[in-house]
Amino acid sequence: MTLAVSPISDYLKSLHASLQSNDDGEVATYIPELGLADPGSFGICIATVDGQVYTAGDVDSRFTIQSMSKPFIYGYALHTHGMETVLKRVGVEPTGESFNSIVLDQVSNRPYNPMVNAGAIAVTSLVEGETADRRYDEMMRYFGLFAGRDLDIDESVFRSEHATGHRNRAIAYMMLNTGMLDRDPEDVLELYFKQCSISVDCRDMAVMAATLAAQGTNPVTGETVLEPDHVRDVLTVMSTCGMYDYAGQWAFDVGVPAKSGVSGGVIAVIPGQLGIAVYSPPLDRVGNSVRGVEACKKISHDFSLHVFDGRTDVHSVIRREYTAADVPSKRVRSMWERDMLADHGKRLSVMEIQGALFFGSAEKFLRRLTEIAREGRTVIVDFKRAAYADRTAIELICQTALVLSSGDCTIVFTELSGKEELQGLKSALEERVGSSLRVRLVSDTDLAIELFEDEILAETDFSLYDRILPLAEIDIFDGLSKDDLQRLSGVATTFQYAAGDRIISEGDDARVFFVVARGSVSVSVTVDGSRTRRIGSVGQGAPFGEMALLDGGKRSADVIADVPVICYLFSVERLREMSDEAPAILPTILGNLVRILSDRLRLANDEIRALQ
């Protein structure tokens, strides 16, 4: 668990201070032990789906989970028994009644929903285990998975609940009479009272809520506790029933799935983003924490978390579009190659996708993809800025790729590797359309553009690449006399490298520079301390490591052979030694280098303008 310091922490502290003086409400006393809570205790905690935790106030105060346990035990029942079995015991309709009403659905004899006491007791009866002790262990194991640590119960609260829970006994025996319970009601109630008496703090509840926000995967432990389909069902019932007969007003004011407990806790879940937990014992007339409700209202408003705030806009799913004529690859190419590619670059379009992919956003970008495909072009779909893809989006993308692969368009999907949140999409594409020649998966967009350019050039005269380029045809030596070229040839060393060989390592001394005589090499840098990122490539006739001519410092990147490569190697020291007998060589090379670097800068500026 990572405790974060940020503007969010400052925001929570300010919010906590603004609500601390609100002394409305009364501490629950119908369970005597709850009446001992300090009415001034007040804590707020936010846990994100990637494990960041922000806190303010009394987040270490212990309290019992009470009715906030109901969504999680409902999730257990769905996971263990399946929806069909659970629906036989409890419905999903709001009641409009108090949470502890002694009432069942008159048609089905079921409790109305699992968020009221009757429904929660019916769900608790589904906990598996041959003995009471084993059922208790199973329940505690499951709650511990949600919290990311072992939990225990508050024995004093349990005894108080057990001694005063007569209304719950009436509910349980009524359900025994209607067939909703098939075990001894006293046995079920003992487990239910223990469930409500689980001891937690704000951090525990925020992590539990964040686990639901993360589609059932605990953001602290990384362990999957509940399947996404069951999380959806839990959150749906929380949305409609979680705040008792305040549920409608809550949906209007706050607009996120939530659950409260009479100990003073409130949890709220923002799917895909975060979980919120607030603890403050004084309750309003319907049994919800006064400060808890106000805190959630403010957070939802200030962070635009209401489900209908429209924060997910399908219109923004396509970040931008461009062609290979506007933004060529970072491959260093000759002038005639650039001229050739400028004429054909519009045959390749790049679509950059951003944000979450669900039905609406996926439909929009696939509609545009189909429009481009009708023109017979190659299309690169760049997922670098995509957040995730749900199963509907994955199915739509695969189906569209299958249809388009039967036409003249080639679809290339890039930036899927190494992104855990998009592995489902990557695996589905590999399985469903990976064998198609018209659908490809390439690691990064620049490489995909470069491969397209190579195909265009191959249509012209690929034999140019199949020979060793002489010094006289290399730009960096342009303007040298035949005699100087002859002298330069005498100090050049020719090396051959197999595909994958490392030619330069980051951190090496820069004492020589290279020119590609045949083949191509890739230039990569280290990011995040260990991961490598390809930043470009160098083709036939182009220099690399040429900064050795200027500063002679340390190498700033790795250079790897893409294919079998032949390179010319030149010692900078040897070139300087030749200055007396051939004074034009080094100034000419340096002048050409300045021109080449200026040309690269101009191309980079053109690319920046094209992407704005």
- Backbone phi, then psi, for 481, in 5-degree steps? -70, 165
Nearest 5°: the CA angle 190, 196, 200 is 135
Q: Give every strand in the sheet of 63-64, ordered side by side.
A: 63-64, 198-200, 152-153
DSSP 8-state code for residue 43? E
What's the CA gap between 65 and 161, in Å, rounded?
13
Phi-psi region of 285 (alpha: psi -120 to 50; beta: other; left: phi over 0): alpha
Kindly name the residue from 74, 142, 244, 568 that is annotated as catalytic: 244
What's the CA gap between 65 and 387, in Å, rounded?
33
Collapse the DSSP code of 55 into the 3-class scheme (helix H, G, I; strand E, B; otherwise coil) and give the result: strand
Is 388 one of the catalytic residues?
A: no
Kindly name the residue from 74, 142, 192, 279 that is annotated as catalytic: 192
Is 568 one of the catalytic residues?
A: no
Q: CB within 8 A of 398, min separation 6: which ones?
A: 428, 429, 432, 433
Is 262 one of the catalytic residues?
A: yes
Collapse the DSSP code of 448 into the 3-class scheme (helix H, G, I; strand E, B; otherwise coil) and give the result: helix
Kindly name the residue from 11, 59, 70, 92 that is annotated as catalytic: 70
Is 70 one of the catalytic residues?
A: yes
Kindly name the residue from 262, 523, 538, 572 that is annotated as catalytic: 262
Closest of 405, 585, 339 to residue 480, by C-alpha: 585
Collapse the DSSP code of 17 into the 3-class scheme (helix H, G, I; strand E, B; otherwise coil) and give the result: helix
Which residue is associated with the tokens 């890039």?
Answer: 414
Task: Looking at 82-201, list the stretches that DSSP marks H as alpha helix, in order from N- to C-terminal side.
Answer: 83-87, 117-124, 132-147, 155-164, 166-178, 185-196
Longest CA–CA span in the chain (Å) reads: 110
Is 67 one of the catalytic residues?
A: yes
The β-bridge partners of 277 are 45, 267
b/e per residue, 150-168, with b = 16+ CB within 10 A?
ebebbeebbebbbeebeeb
Kindly name the residue from 67, 239, 263, 280 that is annotated as catalytic: 67
Active site residues: 67, 70, 192, 244, 262
